[in-house]
Amino acid sequence: MYARTSSLFLAVLLLAGHSPTPLEAGEGLTLVASGGRRAIDARVGEAVAVELRWNGHALPSGARARWLEIVPRPEHVELAPPSPPYRTYTNARLGGPDHGRWIGQDVIEGDVVPLTIGTSETTLTADAASRPTGRRAAREASVGSRVGDPSGLHAPRGSGWRQPLEEADQTRWRWTPSASELGTRWLAAEVTLPDGRVVKSPAEIGRGGVTTRALRVSVRADDSFLGWLGSYFRVPYVFGSTPAQSESYRGIDCADVMVAAQRRVSGRALAYTSVQGLERHAVAVSEPFEVDRDGTLHDGARSPKVLRFGVDVRPGDLVAIDYADDPDGQLPRPWDHVGAVLEDRGPEGRADGVLGAEDLVRHMGLRGLVDEPLARHGHVRLRIWRWR
C-alpha cells in the first residue's frame, strides 16, 4: 500500500501542490523530545516520548495530527546514479582508476509515509473529546514492528505489522523499541489547526540526506561498540560520506560507520577516515590471510590458518577486506572494505570457537548495514584489527 502512495506523500509534503488546504512552511510546527532535544539516542527497552509543539507551545485545543516517517531509499530509484553501473549513493567515484575521487554530495532519495510504530495519545492541553476509545484505542496500543527485520520499510496488512496512527488530536508519541527494531528513524508530522490550516514539520530529503530539522530517533542494543553500530541500521550507504553526514546519521560508508560507533562508545573525537586510515585508530592483531570461496582459511603459503575466538579474534574486532577476485583493478586500494566481527557460528549454526566462513560480520553493504556470514564476501584477503 505504501509503495503506491509514498510518492504522493512526498509530493504533498515537499511541493505543497495537491492538498485541499495549503501546507504552510515555517509556521513553527516542531517535534520535541524531553529536554527540548532534536535527536534521541535510546537503548532497546528504553521508553521514547515525542511531543508536537506549535510556535514553542502545546498545540491548540482541537488540532488534529498525523504522524509521519521520512524513509530514505537504500539506493537510487528515480535519479541517475553518479557512478554507474552502481545505483549506490556516492559522494566519490566508485570503482575504476578514479576510485575515491570526490564528485560532490549525492542526492538521497526517500519517501514520507505514515508512522506505523509506537502509540500516540492526547496530552492534557489538547481537546480530550476526540480521544480514541474502545477498539480504536486498543488497535493504536498494539505492537509495532515485524520481528527479525530491523531494516523493513513497509507494513502490509495481515503480516504482524501495526497500521498507521490515525489522524486525531494525538499530540504526543510514545515508543518502547524492541531488540528487533534497531536503527534510525526520522519523524515528522502534519497538523490541521482548528481554523482549517494544515501545517507541517520539516520533512525534506535530498542532497546530503534527510534534513537535520526533522527529529531523529536512533536505537541501539546496548552501550558497546557493536551496540552502537546497530543504531546505523536503516541509514543509507553513501560511498565517501562526509563527517557531517556520518555524525548525524544521514548517510555513511563502511569505514565511517565503524568510526562513528567507536566515537560514541569511547567518547573520543576519532577522525573519520578511509579503510586504510583505520590503522591510525586500531592495531593489527593478525597477519593478512585469505578465505577461499569454499570457506577455507589459509596464509600466503597456503598453510591452514586458525584464529581462535576469544583469543585471536573477538566480537567487535575489525575485519579489513581486500577483494582478491578483481582482475580489472576496479578496486585499486590495498583494503577495499571493512566490517566488525559479530558472532561465532560454526557449520551447524553453533559456536565452534574458531573464525570461519559461517561467522557473522556486521558491515555497511551497498544497501545499508547488514549482518551476514563472512563467506558472502567470496574470495578475500583479510586482516584483523582491534581498537586501540
Q: What is the tens place of the pLDDT at every residue in 175-208? A: 999 999 999 999 999 999 999 999 999 999 999 9
Confidence (pLDDT) at 14: 31
Q: Which three three-digit cell numbers place residue 45?
A: 527497552
At 193 the pLDDT is: 92
Distance CA 233, CA 299 (A): 33
Q: Is the peptide bond before 85 cis (omega within 30 degrees of 0)?
A: yes
Phi-psi sector, 261: left (phi>0), alpha (psi -120 to 50), beta: alpha
**Residue 327, pLDDT score:** 54
* Phi, psi for 139 (deg, rounded to 5): -65, -40
Nearest to 203 by CA among 326, 35, 386, 23: 23
Q: What is the pTM of this model?
A: 0.81
- What is the per-residue DSSP string for 280-342? GTEEE-S--EEE-TT--EE-TTS-B---BBTTTB-TT-EEEEEES--TT-SS-SS--EEEEEE
User: Which parts of the chain have pLDDT scores under 70?
Assistant: 1-27, 121-169, 325-333
Per-residue exposure over 293-330, b if at least 16 CB sit within 10 Å of its own CB, e if not: eeeebeeeeeeebebebeeebebbbbbbbbebeeeeee
pLDDT at position 385 is: 97
Q: What is the rounded CA–CA span in Å between residue 75 and residue 13? A: 21
Would you kindly state where each structural domain of the chain is located, as residue ranges?
2-73+108-220, 273-387
263: its cell numbers: 566515537
Helix (H) or strand (E) holding 370: strand 368-373
Q: How far apart are CA 47 and CA 45, in angstroms?
A: 6
CATH class of 2-73+108-220: mainly beta
Q: Residue 252: in which H helix or E strand, if any?
A: none
Q: How many CA atoms lie within 13 A of 306 on its CB side?
A: 4
Report the pLDDT value the prediction gives residue 142, as an integer from 0 to 100.
Answer: 35
Please report the pLDDT score of residue 88 as a whole number.
97
